[in-house]
A and B are shown apart, each in its own frame.
Chain A
Amino acid sequence: MPANLNEASLQAYLDHRLGANAVRLTELTRFPRGVSRETWGFTIENLDGADRPEKLILRRPIEGAVYIPRTIEWEYEIAARLAKTDVPVAKPLWYEDDPAWCFDDGRTFFIREQIDGHWNVPHVVDPAPEWDQHRITLSKEMVAKLGMVHLVDWKAHDFGAIIEAPDSLEDSGPRAIRQIYRELEEVQFEPQPVLAEVKEWLLDNAPPAPRLVLLKGTNGLGEEVFRDEKIVALSDWEQCSIGDPAQDFARTQDLLPHIERDGQVIWSMRHALDYYESLTGIHVEETTVDYYRLVGCVDGAVYFHTALQSVADGTEPNIRRAYLATELSHNFLRKLLDATYGRDVGGEAFGTQEVKEGEAVVATDA
């Protein structure tokens, strides 16, 4: 029976893995954020004089987490490939699946280095004019880092071995949609006629991608490690995929602000996309970003439906999971129908932020 994860059991594991008396564990803390993954930070002292990083992370799935189709091993494989590119990521060290050493209920985990920094940046959503330049600088930083990810030669780094790539530029949108609906089929326990209806429209209106690129998935505030106005590590790769670069812009949280002063728009999605094009040579249409926001709404609705499963079967009837299926689910379905019926749905005012809010609401750490 594996031990519970605590300082004593982790020290015993490190002795097993690295050799007796190789390191001494000095601190272990569970980070409060996260919906699908648990992140534990710990520090070690290298007693054997080896050149190991002393601040490390143990990452594993959360027990009873809302359905996430990707395994922790898959996430480790993504990180291992990224570590061989120019993209700033925390270096993964090893993956553990030995049942004798997987803590608690036997969840596998991986260990990576810990990067100094913080997920939050002061004033990043502050609308006061004195923070405009700060917010634009941060936005450009996010755009530049997305550009780095998008320019990774995913074929040369063998991402295609673990991520199903679209067959063509035209297949990018349909592939993303089919993937979400496959996930829905796996978890569906209640009729979803609205999602069935909008699928046809989404397939009919999928724009071709300008290029097939490596995508980060959810990105922006809460997903990366910042130091001052710099992103020192791109984190949380569990929704990494290959497809249209617009998809990442549709999933950026808080770092693509619309700023207007004295009747002049000084920063917007269009500015960000122009800046991105100047860095990467890839032109992304704003309408394509809007399209992928709708795809994100389908993704969110599926996520909320999944969250309701444990309420319906009584395995973990957390009230927040029930909540997701009421207000947030209703809003998402309304926006999807409005968009497919040709009504105005408010551009960047919907999508990723609400998915994020949904995830935050269901997170046990509040």
Chain B
Amino acid sequence: MRPTPEEVLNSISYTFDELIRPDPAGPLAISYSLTVSNMLRQLMLTMKHEERAIHEDGAELRGVLRQAYGWLRANDAGGEAAAKLGTALALETDPVTPAHSSRDNWRALRGALEAAIKRMQALRGSHGDSADYRAVRQAMRDYLDGSLDREKILIDGAFTLARR
């Protein structure tokens, strides 16, 4: 989930200082103000929903990755993707900074998913007919579908003005 709230805030600060404040009544500043307004709403939605969205998404993702991990260990033992999955699945939330930690861990899980997708695509020639292989690939596709649906909660309702 990028940009992060910190990145959006930094962008708003930069945009005000560099692009709006020098000529606040000019057409460029007015245009940027529209984008800032939309992104402030997006930021509020992110602050409201992100933690839960990452929790729910992460839970489904971990289930899919455990399935992929099992398949890769059985069929591609010693491969980099399996190792990356093992590392990502072992990550724990830091109790001192749980929000940041959850986001970082979720990103690591997504990176492991990408590695697993690429590796399983590469193994399609030798394993594509196997029911186990197809089940893992389908689980990955279902996750991606659901994940984009979950992301929609951070988009819907934010962009109510012209974008620029």
Contact = CB atoms under 8 A, between A and B. Distances in A.
Given A312-B3, A327-B159, A193 B12 contact: no
Contact of A190 (B32, B107, B144, B155): B107
A330 B152 contact: yes
Contact of B163 (A308, A333, A361): A361
Interface in A298-326: 308, 311-312, 314, 316-323, 325-326
A334 interface: yes
Q: Interface on chain B toward A: helix, strand, loop, or mixed SS?
A: helix
A312 B152 contact: no
B114 interface: yes
Given A193-B114, A197-B140, A323 B27 contact: no
A120 B121 CA distance: 45
Contacts of A341: 141, 145
B83 interface: no
Given A330-B155, A366-B164, A308 B3 contact: yes
A319 B159 contact: no
A344 interface: no
Contacts, number: 106
B35 interface: yes
B5 to A, nearest CB: 11
Contacts of A357: 163
Interface stretch (B36-44, B48-56, B70-78, B94-102): B36-44
A9 to B, nearest CB: 24
A337 B148 contact: yes
Given A191-B113, A314-B10, A361 B164 contact: yes
A191 to B, nearest CB: 4
Contacts of A194: 144, 148
A274 B163 CA distance: 37
A196 B110 CA distance: 11
A360 interface: yes
A311 to B, nearest CB: 5
* Among A318, A320, A330, A357, residue most surrounded by chain B Cβ atoms (within 10 Å): A320
B35 A323 contact: yes
Interface string B9-51: 0111111000100000001100110011011001000000000
Contacts of B36: 319
Interface in B114-164: 114, 117-118, 121, 124, 140-141, 144-145, 148, 151-152, 154-155, 158-159, 163-164
A130 interface: no
B7 A322 contact: yes
Contact of A320 (B2, B35, B148, B158): B35
Contacts of A239: none
B86 interface: no
Interface string A324-366: 0111001001100100010000000000000001001100111
Nearest to A305: B2
Nearest to B40: A319
A318 B143 CA distance: 32
Interface residues of A, number: 35
B114 A196 contact: yes
A357 B35 CA distance: 13
A312 B13 CA distance: 14
B12 A200 contact: no
A191 B114 contact: yes
Contacts of A325: 2-3
B11 A311 contact: yes
Contact of B3 (A322, A337, A360): A322
Of A194, A308, A321, A360, most B-chain CB atoms within 10 Å = A194
A192 interface: yes
Interface in B86-114: 107, 110-111, 113-114
Given A319-B36, A323-B39, A330 B31 contact: no
Given A194-B144, A322-B39, A317 B111 contact: no
B10 A326 contact: no
Contact of A326 (B31, B39, B118, B140): B39
A361 B39 CA distance: 13
Contacts of B118: 196
B121 to A, nearest CB: 5
A154 B118 CA distance: 35
B151 A321 contact: no
B70 to A, nearest CB: 19
Interface of A: 190-194, 196-197, 199-200, 308, 311-312, 314, 316-323, 325-327, 330, 333-334, 337, 341, 357, 360-361, 364-366
9 contacts: A200-B121, A318-B11, A326-B3, A326-B39, A334-B148, A337-B148, A341-B141, A366-B28, A366-B32
The 3 closest A-B pairs by CB, nearest first: A191-B110, A366-B31, A317-B11
